[in-house]
Amino acid sequence: MAQNVLITPASTKIAFTDSGDTTTVLKTSSGRFEFKDSGESNFVDLYANDIVLDGNLTVGGTTTTVNTSNILIEDPILQLAKGQTSGSPTVDIGFVGLRGASNNAAFIWDESDDVFAAILTTGDGSATTLTPASYAGFKAGAATFSGALTVGGALLPSANGTHNLGSSGAYWKNAYLEDTAINGTLYVGGVLTAAGDIAMGTNQIIFNNNSQAIQIKDAAGTASYVLYQDSADTLVVGNGTNVEKIRFDTSGNEGALAIDTNGKVGIGTSSFRAIGGLNPSLLNIEGVNGQWDSGLTIVSNATGDY
C-alpha cells in the first residue's frame, strides 16, 4: 500500500540513482522544486509527455527550441523585442525563414531604414539585426498607400495591354513623365502640359466634346490662342483679345496670311482690310494652263479697301 513521503526541514531532498549509477536530486529551494545533479551544482534535463501548467511559464535561458510540427497560439498579437522598452531602438523586428543553400527569407522592420522590408539575407536570426543581401518580391491583391509610392524599377502590369492606370471615376491629378511612349489611349481630364515635343506617329489626338480645346500660351504663360470645335461644328481659332486671331507665316514673310478679331484679312501685308487687304504687287493668281485669269478686277475705294 502506497504511503505518503514527508520531507521535513531536516531532510529537504530526495536522491534518485538509476542503473548507470547516475544520481539526480529533487530538492526544494525558496518555495520551488529543483532537479539537480548529485553535486547539486547544475540543473538536469526533465523529460515528460504532456505537461499542463495552470500558471505562467517563464523560461530564463538564452535559447528556446520547440521541436513541434505545429504551434497554436491563442494570443492574437505577438510582442517582439520585449526588452526594448526605452531609449532609441537599435534592433530589427520580424521573422526569418531558413532556405538551405539559398539566402534566407525575412520580413522585418528594418530599423536602419525605418521601413518594413521583405528581404533575402544570409543572416539566420541569431543576431539582433539582419542585413539585406537583396530585396525579395512581394505579391498581394489590392493595396492602399496613404503616402508616396517610390518605385526603384519599372511599374508593369501583370499582362500586356490588359490593365488601366486609373479609371473613369478615379483620375490621377498630375502626371510628370519623361520620354513617354503611349501605345493606347491617353485620357486627359485637365490640362496636358508638355515641356518638350509631342510627337505623333500614325496616332491621333481626339477631343470628344466642345469643352475640350487646344490652348496655346506665350512664353510668359499667358493664354493666347485656342483651337476648338463649337456647337455648329465650326473649327474656331482665337480668343478675341489679340490684334490677330490667326496668322500663317512663310519663310521670311511674316503675315503671309492673317485674320484679325474683326474678321478683316491681310495677305502679304500687315495692314488689314475688310475684304482682303490685297497687295497688288504681291498678288499672283494663275488660271488654267498657266494663263492669267482675266476675269479678276481689283478696285480700291476711298478707305483703301480693295
The residue-averaged pLDDT of 127-154 equals 91
For residues 248 and 237, membership in a common domain is answered with no
Same domain, 291 and 302: yes
Place of cell 455648329: 232
Q: Average per-residue pLDDT in the chain?
A: 76
Indicate the SS3 state at residue 280.
Answer: helix
Q: Specify whether 110 is located in the same domain as 131.
A: yes
pLDDT at 240: 47
* Among candidate residues 241, 264, 287, the one where a domain is terminated: 241
Q: What is the mean pLDDT of residues 166-193?
A: 77
Q: Which amino acid is at 70?
A: N
Say if 217 falls within a structural domain.
yes
- Examine the domain organization and report whether 260 and 305 are in the same domain: yes
Contacts 24+ apart (CB under 8 A), 222-230: none
Does the residue 278 lie in any domain? yes
Query: What are the grid coordinates assigned to 93, written together?
Result: 523586428
Same domain, 261 and 303: yes
* In the predicted structure, residue 167 carries a pLDDT above the cut 90: no
Same domain membership, residue 225 and residue 263: no
Q: What's the number of domains the chain is made of?
A: 4
Distances (CA, A) of 197 to 81, 104, 170: 55, 48, 28
**Confidence at residue 243, expressed as pLDDT on a 0 to 100 scale:** 44
Q: Are strands 244-250 and 235-237 parallel, antiparallel or unpaired?
A: unpaired
Specify if 293 maps to a domain: yes
* Residue at 169 is within a domain: no
Residue 166 lies in a domain: no
Exposed (0-12), middle (13-18) or buried (19+): which is 170, by Cβ within 10 Å? exposed
Q: What is the pLDDT of residues 248-286, one digit of tens each?
A: 666 655 556 676 666 677 766 666 665 544 555 555 544
Boundary residue ending a domain (136, 166, 200): 136
Distances (CA, A) of 12 to 9, 44, 105, 288: 6, 18, 51, 134
| H/E run at residue 97 | strand 93-97
Q: Which domain holds residue 120?
A: 90-136
Asked if residue 49 belongs to a domain, the reply is no
Q: Report if residue 154 sits inside a domain.
A: no
Residues 268, 296, single domain; the answer is yes
Q: What is the pTM of this model?
A: 0.56
Domain boundary residue, one of 241, 264, 298: 241
Residues 254 and 303 in one domain: yes
Judge whether residue 235 has pLDDT over 70: no
Q: How confident is the model at residue 174 (pLDDT cuts 50, 70, 90)?
A: confident
Residue 214 placed within a domain:
yes
Is 212 in the same domain as 253? no
